[in-house]
């Protein structure tokens, strides 16, 4: 039964988290001139766009085709991402709308009041998540002191803070919040059998699906609260006799139907497969790389969660049925996300989709600390690692927000070079590109290729441009290509190529308008010796409205005209063609 004792240490802990979060956000986010506030970039723009379409443009069915995440169907243009974030943002958006109207800010959904609204929304939902974790711990008999310790560890010692303060428009903090609420409501219903908790749990499941459909697997969390299979069977026999149970299903379906309703307004169809371009390799999951790889690896960039996972040992000793439930959920989630074609989830700090499940990790961490506190040297050791891992995570967060760490394409070499480095000299020091291939049931062959003549070299000394693999026409229509670049370079003086870039440009042949441009540093890390030859193998993806007559160029740009040689330069283009415009 939920303890009636006031968790005063936990409440104080929540207050400290809230105050520190505001201070950190003001100092390191809102006052950082080099990175203007924009919570609606990338995927977040699509999550948010339904609000702009509905309340500003006055036409929810109208979606612009200027961005890659909008999908054109035969009957209309739809959003790739679900509408759940927009639903949870709605009250904050309306407040921003009213404020912008009253105080003469641009009422465009993107001006300062709207940025404040999205940042505030993420903060509020993060705090809701933490509050319900506290309530869950109280319900499950976790002590006040352990709860007061776990909460700040979870917020500051993982990338939860990053996705609250820096990427507030992404879906993960909202999913984290709703999953935390679901775990509490489901645990309380199992424990006390009150219908209000049953209704709340099912309503929250609807929101979880509306936010990210693959998080529906959190419903397996209901198994956590039983001590035996027989207890589980008895519970469900009773549940199936409860009329409110069936009404709750309708409640969930009604909430999820909001997505179909939006699709119908946009395309006159109730169902779409919006992720057909991003599939799964079910027979070739990359679980180890997802967990331990340096390109976003979960336990590399969020090591505290690895420590928390040791709580499974405690659960096994206490309740083998619950151990199977926890283990099954982790196996399923790790397998699902590891099978995804981009198991790094493109960019971000760590494996961002696992932020959604941090309430589960927190519960295991609490179990670990509850057990460890009985032995002084054990609790001292656990605390030491928790503090060290949290410190490391804070460094990662700082590096990611100061352009010291790359958001995608990290390697062991890059990780080692910037490890624990926070100085300005390390900002934007990393280069290269290591993007995973897009999804394809059958990988395409090379569509275009070019390379410099064998046994030749190009001397960039005093030159800004030179090598250019130029294609007069693509020869195909597409909206996604994958590019491989192989390059050998030798510097004449140490780190001469530090400001040299590999660039790719797409140009409309008729209008000469630039349709796509990307660049990255030639050197993966700054050189520390001279003057050995370095061999680079890079890859990048490009999403744009590619037409068969477009001009494509891949070239090296030596901005400062420094002295280095290119001894090999080759380009291969692969066509990954999805939902042609």
Chain centroid offset of residue 103 CA: 34
Q: Provide the pLDDT for residue 581.
A: 37
Pairwise CA distance, residues 489 & 569, whole Å: 9
Give the residues across from 478 on adjacent strands. 546
List, in order, residues 6 or more apart from 176 with CB less than 8 Å away. Answer: 125, 126, 129, 160, 163, 355, 356, 357, 358, 359
Report domain extents, the chain: 8-401, 446-575
User: Three-class SS of residue 75?
Assistant: coil
Q: Provide the pLDDT for residue 329.
A: 98
Q: Write out the two tokens for 307.
A: 């420590």
* CA-angle at 305, arms to 302 and 311, nearest 5°: 165
CB 484 within 8 A of CB 498: no
Pairwise CA distance, residues 337 & 332, whole Å: 9
Q: Provide the pLDDT for residue 579.
A: 46
DSSP 8-state code for residue 126: H
Q: Cβ of 1: how many Cβ atoms within 10 Å?
A: 8
Q: Provide the pLDDT for residue 78.
A: 81
E-only strand ranges, 215-324:
none
Dihedral angle of Cα 501, 502, 508, 513, to the nearest 10 degrees: -10
CB 148 within 8 A of CB 7: yes
pLDDT along the chain (581 residues), means of 10: 77 97 88 73 85 86 66 79 94 97 93 94 98 98 97 98 95 98 98 96 98 96 96 95 95 96 87 83 96 97 98 97 97 97 92 98 98 96 98 96 94 97 95 94 93 92 95 90 96 94 94 92 93 93 89 96 96 80 37
CB 528 within 8 A of CB 413: no
Q: Provide the pLDDT for residue 66.
A: 58
Report the CATH number of the 446-575 domain: 2.60.120.1310
Cis peptide bond N-terminal to 181, omega within 30: no
Q: List the end-to-end C-alpha distance of the chain, in Å, as a whole number.
A: 57
Predicted TM-score (pTM) of this structure: 0.94
């Amino acid at each position: 039964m939920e303890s009636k004792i006031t968790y005063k240490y936990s409440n104080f802990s929540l207050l400290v988290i809230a105050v520190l979060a505001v201070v950190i956000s003001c100092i390191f986010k809102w006052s950082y001139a080099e990175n203007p506030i924009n919570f609606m970039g990338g995927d977040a723009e699509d999550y948010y766009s339904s609000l702009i379409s509905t309340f500003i443009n006055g036409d929810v069915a109208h979606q612009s085709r200027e961005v890659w995440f909008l999908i054109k169907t035969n009957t209309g243009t739809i959003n790739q991402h679900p509408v759940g974030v927009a639903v949870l943002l709605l009250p904050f958006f309306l407040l921003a709308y009213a404020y912008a109207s009253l105080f003469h800010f641009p009422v465009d959904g993107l001006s300062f009041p709207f940025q404040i609204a999205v940042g505030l929304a993420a903060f509020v939902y993060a705090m809701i998540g933490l509050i319900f974790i506290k309530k869950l711990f109280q319900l499950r008999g976790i002590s006040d002191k352990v709860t007061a310790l776990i909460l700040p560890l979870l917020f500051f010692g993982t990338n939860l803070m990053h996705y609250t303060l820096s990427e507030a428009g992404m879906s993960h903090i909202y999913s984290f919040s709703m999953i935390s609420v679901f775990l509490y409501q489901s645990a309380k219903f199992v424990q006390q059998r009150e219908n209000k908790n049953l209704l709340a749990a099912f309503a929250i499941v609807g929101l979880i699906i509306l936010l990210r459909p693959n998080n529906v697997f959190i419903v397996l969390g209901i198994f956590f609260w039983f001590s035996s299979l027989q207890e589980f069977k008895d519970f469900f026999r009773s549940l199936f006799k409860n009329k409110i149970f069936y009404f709750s299903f309708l409640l969930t379906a009604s909430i999820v139907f909001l997505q179909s309703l939006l699709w119908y307004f946009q395309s006159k169809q109730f169902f779409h497969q919006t992720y057909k371009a991003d599939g799964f390799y079910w027979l070739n999951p990359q679980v180890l790389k997802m967990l331990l790889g340096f390109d976003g690896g979960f336990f590399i960039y969020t090591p505290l969660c690895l420590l928390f996972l040791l709580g499974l040992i405690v659960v096994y000793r206490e309740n083998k049925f619950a151990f199977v439930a926890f283990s099954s959920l982790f196996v399923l989630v790790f397998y699902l996300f590891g099978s995804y074609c981009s198991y790094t989830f493109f960019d971000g700090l760590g494996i961002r989709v696992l932020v959604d499940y941090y309430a589960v990790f927190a519960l295991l961490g609490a179990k670990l600390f509850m057990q460890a506190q009985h032995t002084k040297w054990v609790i001292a050791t656990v605390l030491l690692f928790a503090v060290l891992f949290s410190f490391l995570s804070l460094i990662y967060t700082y590096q990611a927000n100061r352009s010291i760490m790359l958001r995608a394409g990290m390697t062991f070499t890059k990780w080692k070079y910037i490890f624990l480095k926070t100085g300005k000299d390390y900002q934007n020091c990393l280069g290269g590109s290591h993007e995973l291939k897009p999804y394809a049931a059958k990988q395409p062959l090379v569509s275009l290729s070019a390379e410099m003549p064998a046994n030749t070299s190009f001397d960039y000394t005093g030159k800004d441009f030179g090598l250019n693999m130029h294609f007069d026409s693509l020869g195909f229509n597409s909206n996604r290509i994958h590019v491989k670049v192989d390059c050998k370079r030798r510097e004449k003086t140490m780190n001469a190529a530090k400001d040299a870039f590999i660039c790719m440009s797409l140009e409309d042949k008729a209008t000469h308008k630039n349709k796509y441009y990307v660049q990255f540093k030639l050197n993966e890390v700054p050189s520390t010796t001279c003057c050995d030859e370095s061999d680079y193998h890079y890859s990048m993806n490009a999403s744009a409205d590619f037409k068969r007559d477009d001009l494509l160029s891949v070239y090296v740009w030596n901005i400062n005209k420094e002295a280095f040689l290119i001894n090999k330069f080759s380009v291969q283009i692969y066509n990954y063609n999805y939902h042609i415009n």
